[in-house]
Amino acid sequence: MSVLPVPRRVALISVHTSPLAQPGTGDAGGMNVYVWQTATRLARRGVEVEIFTRATSSSDAPVVEAAPGVLVRHVVAGPFEGLDKQDLPGQLCAFTAGVLRAEAMNDPGYYDLIHSHYWLSGQVGWLARDRWSVPLVHTAHTLAAVKNASLAKGDTAEPRLREIGEQQVVDEADRLVANTATEAAELAAMYGADPERIDIVTPGADLDCYTTGSKAKARAELGLDPGERIVTFVGRIQPLKAPDVLLAAAAPLIHRSWQPDSGVPPLRVLIVGGPSGTGLERPGVLIEQAAQLGISEAVTFLPPQPSARLADVYRASDLVAVPSYSESFGLVAIEAQACGTPVIAARVGGLGVAVADGTSGLLVDGHEIDAWTSALESLLWQPDRLAELAASARGHAEQFSWEHTADRLLRSYGQAMRSLESSKHAVLKEHLNHKGALGLDGIGQRVRRSWLRRRNRVGA
């Protein structure tokens, strides 16, 4: 097998959220972590990465050297503040213009490949791909059809606009990157994606940051009681992530454990994150729920934490809960396990890969409160079982590293580049056979037009 080409420079597009933002609030989450970690890993392999993201503050510098080999370009598109993801389709023209202008300041062929993240970015990448004659690799991260098929009670469905936009990007991308085989199957079944164009690339964790350590020390750092059992939720506060399910399920266990003669350690729920998405409509909903359940004193809220501090959160916990209704992978689950903490998660999406059921954690079918209460009880009040899962957690997490993710991305990039070159070569050969009096310049122009027509499935 011949060696696949490697890009010199990649234009990475992340319209709605910057990799420099703190994950856990607003629109910042796992995608931020993914973009940042893969960009820095690619740069260490000699691939220059330039990340295009929307400027959200007048203080954002136009270009930031975020790490060796990684530039972040803040593109002005619409007002700096007051826009959420639902408003951004109206700013895609302005954002695309900023991307094209940045490329136009350099010689042709400056970028070898475009990698877009989320459907908004795919719309931009699709146009830039045709303008620059380079391949487009796209990662969806989440899919509207999947989310709408498993909505939380009372949550708002993803708009039809997004589904249409996703379909267009799926049809146009040269290669699609899926987090798991489940996501790849969803792309094929729900969007008609060609399985031959889908690459399965599992995300990872920063295994140097998220490590095992002293639970007592971590609790002391966070001011948490060393004698309590602690189950933790980490993520954006929104119905999709289902932190309300955890509170409701933990409530009867909290009431029981806080009785003087309970015979079990008091249980505390730790919620780490900030409101996001539809959760912004009621930012205090979990505080209200805890009060209604009579467990306010046993629930601790922390804002989003930087990576090093988040590692202490994981180490301080006896169990981390990921009760999401939909999850393309679940980075929190891998990070927690890397710190030696077992995970209880909903059996949805990529969580079946992120958590080794019965080995590094427990998967729960559905979101029935009684089922979650029973599952929590089966772990929290059985210390031997909890210790057994904790002992296996790190080993499972070590299968998922960002280094491995970067390796697989480079393979996907190489396949996209080779396919494009083969297509261009076929068109060039066709026109050279019929060059007539066009001359080489004329041939070059016709080759590009013919390739675009062929690429967009319009007859040459």
| 165 pLDDT above the threshold of 60 | yes
Regarding beta strands 70-75 and 63-67, do their DSSP bridges make them parallel or antiparallel, or are they unpaired? antiparallel
| Mean pLDDT, rounded, for 328-356 | 96
Q: Is 405 annotated as a binding residue?
A: no
- Average the pLDDT over 35-39 and give the result: 96
Q: Is the dihedral of CA 97, 100, 102, 106 positive or negative?
A: negative
Beta bridge partners of 113: 10
Task: Give the range among 13-27, 73-87, 259-273 with minimum mean pLDDT.
Answer: 13-27
Q: Is 327 assigned to a binding site?
A: yes
CB 326, CB 150: distance < 8 Å: yes
317 among annotated binding-site residues? yes
Query: Does the annotation list 23 as a binding residue?
Result: yes
- Residue 401 among known ligand-binding residues: no
pLDDT digits (tens, 9 = 90+) for 227-236: 999 999 999 8
CA dihedral 400, 38, 196, 129 (to 10 degrees): 170
Per-domain residue ranges of the chain: 9-201, 215-402, 424-455
What pLDDT shows up at residue 435? Answer: 54
Average pLDDT over residues 157-180: 96
Taking 50 as the threshold, does the pLDDT of residue 249 lie above it? yes
% of the chain exceeding 70 in pLDDT? 89
Q: What confidence score (pLDDT) does residue 276 get?
A: 60
305 is in an annotated binding site: yes
Residue 323, pLDDT above cutoff 70? yes
pLDDT at 344: 98
Q: What is the pLDDT of residues 380-439, one digit of tens each?
A: 999 999 999 999 999 999 999 999 999 999 999 999 999 888 776 655 556 556 554 444
> Does residue 281 have a pLDDT over 80?
no
Nearest 5°: CA angle at 346, between 340 and 347? 105
- Assess whether the region 9-201 and the region 215-402 belong to the same CATH fold: yes
Q: Which residue has the tokens 């930031």?
A: 64
**What would the mean pLDDT of 133-157 be, rounded to a whole number?**
91
Predicted confidence (pLDDT) at residue 279 exceeds the cutoff of 60 = no
Confidence of residue 460 (pLDDT cuts 50, 70, 90): very low
pLDDT at 346 over 80: yes
Selected residue with higher pLDDT from 252 and 3 = 252
What does the pLDDT average to over 148-173? 92
Any known ligand binding at 315?
yes
Over range 319-326, report the average pLDDT: 96
Identity of the amino acid at 35: V
CATH of 9-201, one of 3.30.70.20, 3.80.30.20, 3.40.50.2000, 3.50.50.60: 3.40.50.2000
> Does position 22 have pLDDT exceeding 80, yes or no?
no
Q: Is 229 annotated as a binding residue?
A: no
Query: pLDDT value at position 443?
Result: 46
Q: What is the mean pLDDT of residues 10-14?
A: 97
Placement of tokens 């939720």 in the chain: 233
Binding residue per annotation — 85? yes
Asked whether residue 303 is marked as a ligand-binding residue, the answer is: no
335 annotated as belonging to a binding site for a ligand: yes
Position 17 pLDDT exceeds 90: no
- Asked whether residue 387 is marked as a ligand-binding residue, the answer is no
22 is in an annotated binding site: yes
Judge whether 32 is annotated as a binding position: yes
Average of pLDDT values for 139-156? Answer: 90
**Rounded Cα–Cα distance for residues 220 and 197 (Å):** 50
Crossing angle of the two packed helices 118-132 and 92-104, in degrees rounded to 10? 40
C-alpha 400/C-alpha 329 separation (Å) is 11
Query: How far, rounded to the nearest angstrom, does the alpha carbon of residue 351 sit from its chain's CA centroid?
Result: 13
Q: Average the pLDDT over 94-117 and give the result.
A: 96
Is 30 annotated as ligand-binding? yes
Is 309 annotated in some ligand binding site?
Answer: no
Q: Does domain 215-402 have CATH number 3.40.1000.10?
A: no
Per-residue pLDDT at 86: 84
The verdict on whether residue 236 carries a ligand-binding annotation is yes
Q: What is the mean pLDDT of the chain?
A: 90
**Is 28 known to sit in a ligand binding site?**
yes
Which carries the bigger pLDDT value, residue 330 or residue 22?
330
Position 24 pLDDT exceeds 50 = yes
